[in-house]
Amino acid sequence: MTTATPPVAAPAVGWTLERGATLLPDGAVHFSVWAPHASAARVRIQSGPAAGEHPLVRANGTPGLLSARVPDVGAGADYVYLLTGADGETRELPDPVSRWQPHGVHGASRVVDPAAHAWGDAAWRGLALADYVIYELHVGTFTDEGTFDAAAADLPRLRELGVTAVELMPVAEFPGRRNWGYDGVHLYASHSAYGGPDGLRRFVDAAHALGIAVVLDVVYNHVGPEGNYLDAFGPYFTDRYRTPWGRAVNYDGPDSDEVRRWVVDNARYWVREFHVDGLRLDAVHGIFDLGASHVLREIGEAARAEGAAAGRTVVVIAESDQNDPRVVRGAAEGGLAMDAQWADDFHHAVHAALTGERRGYYEDFGDVGRIAAALREPFVFDGGYSPHRRRKHGGPSAGLARERFVVAIQNHDQVGNRATGDRLSVLLEPEALRLAAALLLLSPYVPLLFMGEEYGETNPFLYFVSHGDEQLVEAVRTGRREEFAAFAWEGEVPDPQAEESFRRSRLDRARLADPRHAAIQQLYRDLLALRREEPVLRPGAAPHRVSHLADSDGGWITLLRGDGADALLAIFNCSAMERRVPLPASAAGGWALRLTTDGEGYGGRGRVPDSLGGGVGSEDGEGPRRLLVSQAEATMPPWTAAVYHRQARGA
């Protein structure tokens, strides 16, 4: 055993990551690990001049903190911690703040030089949320190669499509080579099969060169079961709360300060060392903290502070199923101060109305009125009774900026958590699929596309894992079967562990050679161009008014964006029959066709009128959502959307 020199912290330049292995300018490495459960600890360097074991000593100020400065280690060295527990047993374990796990979740950690990458994005300043068009992708199935570099090669196509932000499903090291990423156990280590930390940096740099922001999906509500050695280090988990995915993280119990630091530092780390523009926080309703300063607020403040220090706009987006406006309200209003949150009611309303599905949470939706409600406000359930939940659900979203809500018609959850991973492209007829795209991209919110949606990909997106623990594998299989039995699913549930489930989930961009798929992509491209070209379509830029009629056959919706000369009127026929849709009174005057999903270039038949208008409006009904009826009408084919721009009087 060699003798380590006294611990010396890395020189501070703004914020730096102090836990884990910090490479110093002279080639030494400062190792720092919080391990209050260990009675003694050493670090073993596996190769090079510093190969061997080096003792870690208690640091002053933080109970349970152990550290050492080991000379002549250098970048690229692999290391493990040797922790001796209270029982006297010594275990060889990877670093809980490892920057890279090249040998997988069970193997040694590797020293990384975060300054080695020559960044080319010095001029990049990020984007405002209102300018986000998010494209969610899973690195492993987005391309045949399943790497960051291969994904980066397709970024020019996405930019040409009109995408302005790419959201990566979690990339933190998970067991095996096939996983959605929500079983990650090394929060700081970019997955090795994807290309490790260097690959992620190249991806972000390539995105910024094209003007595309990068949002990273991070999981702070639980840690995956396989390769999770955190109990040997300290009290990372608590039994005070329960989550559906695993043990709750200890954010407010005894010894929780360093656990909070572990995730707050992680948020800073992705912004500082990888230049990401945003974080998407998975299922924040599974993050429990009854302290005076909620950990979510600290995460958001830390991420934005790192962005500000670099002169870049950084956003934090939360996933929550609670329809709770406090998620995006400011701290002064008692909120969590997230920049935005997912609003799933929009998806549920569109999906249920267009597919006819009514099982599970879709029983709360179904008629066209629910789509209209989701266009008015992101939370359809804003305190009203939910039959599915059998209780009142949500709170009012009125008054909150529209750019603070992200909506989708497909995403990894809503596709992948179906028994056979089937997409809307196989559930809907082409006309209804085009209508769904228009509802999304003409909505007043920030849109999110799921990879392949833009050209009607028909390959499924299945749930897949590659665990090494056979008992865990069987538990996952059983859990999936039981989950879908509750939805009265009678077919065979694909095996999550089978490599075939992973292979079937890959995108097949060769379909773009098929005119039918190319036409869908052209519709998405044109709708996104419309969003860029028409100022009133930017979230929060102009008021919007919604009218609708719902009946047993479906119904129709009108959406008026803006009220001046640059106003746009969108009409949606959400039924299988031709509809005569009255223009709302506030849309009196003349209107010229700007775009229709029934256009021949998109696979339609060109039956939408080129112009509308003339009549003076009158009002029918009572209450704040009364139907506004005009003397002018639009005859709309089944399952069709059309957008009109206001004509000058006399035109």
Active site residues: 282, 319
E-state strands within 85-132: 90-93, 109-110
- Give pairs for 105-110: CB < 8 Å, separation 24+: 105/173, 105/174, 105/175, 105/185, 105/186, 105/226, 105/227, 106/227, 106/468, 108/46, 108/78, 108/79, 108/80, 109/20, 109/21, 109/78, 109/79, 109/80, 109/189, 110/76, 110/77, 110/78, 110/79
Q: What angle do CA 293, 297, 301 make, to 5 degrees?
A: 120
> 138: Cβ–Cβ under 8 A, 6 or more apart, which residues?
169, 180, 181, 412, 451, 461, 505
Q: Going by DSSP bridges, is the β-strand pair 65-70/554-561 parallel, antiparallel, or unpaired?
A: unpaired
Could you give the C-alpha distances from 236 to 226, 233, 277, 501, in angstroms and in order?
Answer: 15, 8, 28, 33
Q: Tally Cβ neighbours within 10 Å of residue 382.
A: 18
Measured between alpha carbons, how far is 641 from 647 in angstroms, rounded to an integer? 19
Token pair recorded at residue 302: 């830390």
**151, 193, 300, 325, 356 from 330: Cα distances, Å:** 36, 39, 11, 10, 38
What single-letter amino acid sits at 181? Answer: G
